[in-house]
Amino acid sequence: MIWRWLERHADHQPGRIALRFGDEAITYGALAQRVAAAADGLAARGVRRGDRVAFLGQNHPAQIVLLFACARLGAVQVPLNWRLAGPEWHFILADSGTRLLFAMSDFRAAAEAAAPPGCTVLDATALPEGDPVPAVGQEDDPILLVYTSGTTGRPKGAVLDQRALLFNALNALHTFRMTAGDRVLTVLPLFHVGGLNIQTTPALYAGAEVILHPRFDPDAAFDAIRDQRPTLSLLVPAVMQALTRHSRWAGAELSCLRGVGAGSSDVPVELIAAFHAKGVPVQQVYGATETCPIAIVQTAEEALAAPGSIGRPALHVDCRVVDSAGRPLPPGQAGEIQVRGPSVLRAYWNRGDALTADGWFATGDVGRVDEAGRWWFADRVKHVIISGGENIYPAEVERLLASAPGILEGAVVGRPDPKWGEVPVAVVVPSEGFDPAAVLRHFEGQLARFKHPRDVVAMPALPRTALGKVATAELKAMVAGAVRGA
């Protein structure tokens, strides 16, 4: 039971710092007290085992308090991506049957507008009070319901239990050699399992210190490295690029960092090299929302020995590469990556089992294993666009594109981008009254801004396969070629 982590650390080291947030330093003793009080307050509001409780806002200690308070009660936290639009929040809240939505002040009005009937919106920094109640949460109780965009255009809720977070933490401790003496700088959003579970919750399991930032800001990150001397941090390529291109990079002294984790998409080798040149190993972490997310990892030694590899299976995870029929492939052959272990989800919310009969999760990603046992990422089976660490599924964007003015048909593909890795582009067959600017405006307020197409490319017809499906690979090549030829 993950709620017990904080109680035990409060027993053994109550005065040790658990969280730093701005000028606030929260000890393990104080954090455990806040969690217990929050659980009492949730119970007073009628929250029981299995109930869903959502959080909306940028990174804040309140989200961590709420997570562990839910764990005490056997309730489930639903972390909402604050970058989404109101209709997207509404769908998640309604689909999950969320009872309470705790919103930070900046999001309170938007939360009120998005909340479906039966969902009460409360101030995230003023958790309700109540009489003491016993901690009843168990290892097999779901604790996180994290929505990830689906290939059908509707997000799916991945259900992760408390046992999954425990074994994920053990995987992280092994990967990063994390101990109570570490200081973890968290700049990535906690609404993703990456920002939450690759280093942040594992640090609290280890009794380490988490330096929590509301969101990534390069100057704040450089200040924290200089003044608070973190030993570990987790980054994505867009953040790595922002740091390496910043005016402070050349003079930055990073010797405090024993390593940085990196993931969410392919990490360009030149970014890895920039950190390695400053003596900081870039340890790639491969996984998915459904794997909590740690699945394949690099140790610091592997990071230096094989830049670009995603590493080897984590300590408590099995991984394999299979062909289209699900048969395991030998080293050197590319196929779909599958993952199995106690940190993997069991089901999608209201959608049934997510695993094969023998317990494997099919990631939809293509990879291979070399003769040395190192794993390499190859491609995305599902054509997901990864932009700045955010997953964008074309089908979701295409649902809205179909109703845009002045087009007969359209598709959405990723186009290489030097800053974001990829950006979505709408490829359309125009009709009377076609106006590219009007097509782009069509997405305002309907989808998160990072999912909006950055460009509209008009074509006389979309390339199609013999079966009539849009030839996505050909379309992507045409769009990329048009940019190179410009």
SS3 212: strand
What is the CATH topology of the domain spanning 385-484? GMP Synthetase; Chain A, domain 3 (3.30.300)
Give the neighbor-by-neighbor strand order of the sheet with 183-186.
24-27, 17-21, 209-212, 183-186, 232-235, 259-263, 282-287, 294-297, 312-313
Length of the chain: 486
CA atoms of 111 and 121, how far apart (whole Å): 7
Find tokens 């764990």 and name the residue.
71
Instruction: Write out the residue limits of the CATH 3.40.50.12780 domain(s) in the chain.
Output: 160-381
Is-contact 189 195, C-beta < 8 A? yes
For strands 312-313 and 232-235, give the pairing.
Answer: unpaired
pLDDT above 50: residue 484: no
pLDDT digits (tens, 9 = 90+) for 121-169: 999 999 889 999 999 999 999 999 999 875 556 889 999 999 999 999 9
Q: What is the pLDDT of residue 164?
A: 98
How confident is the model over 180-217, as pLDDT tens digits?
A: 999 999 999 999 999 999 999 999 999 999 999 999 99
Distance CA 386, CA 481 (A): 19
At 213, the amino acid letter reads: H
d(CA 181, CA 231) in angstroms, rounded, equals: 9
Q: What span, in angstroms and rounded, lies between the C-alpha atoms of 236 and 247?
A: 19
Residue 483 is predicted with a pLDDT of 55
Give me the architecture of the 1-9+23-138 domain, per CATH. Answer: 3-Layer(aba) Sandwich (3.40)
Kindly tell me the sign of the dihedral angle through the C-alpha atoms of 208, 212, 217, 222. negative
pLDDT tens digit sequence for 5-50: 999 999 999 999 999 999 999 999 999 999 999 999 999 999 999 9
Count the neighbouring beta carbons within 10 Å of the beta carbon of residue 418.
7
Alpha-carbon torsion angle 290, 296, 299, 305, nearest 10: -140
At residue 475's C-alpha, the angle toward residues 469 and 476, to 5°, is 130
Residue 486, pLDDT above cutoff 50: no
Q: Give the contacts of 373 (CB within 8 A, at least 6 positions apart).
A: 312, 331
Bridge partner list, 122: 102
Residues of the chain with CATH 3.40.50.980: 1-9+23-138
Mean pLDDT of the chain: 93
Stretch (H or E) spanning 37: helix 28-44
CATH fold label, 160-381: Rossmann fold (3.40.50)
For 429, the token pair is 């067959």
Q: What is the DSSP string of 121-157?
A: EEETTSPPP---------TTSEEEEEEE--TTSS-EE
The backbone torsions φ and ψ at residue 156, rounded to the nearest 5 degrees and listed phi first, read: -115, 145
Q: Hunting for tokens 């210190």 — which residue is that?
A: 209
Are 295 and 317 spatial neighbours (Cβ–Cβ below 8 Å)? yes
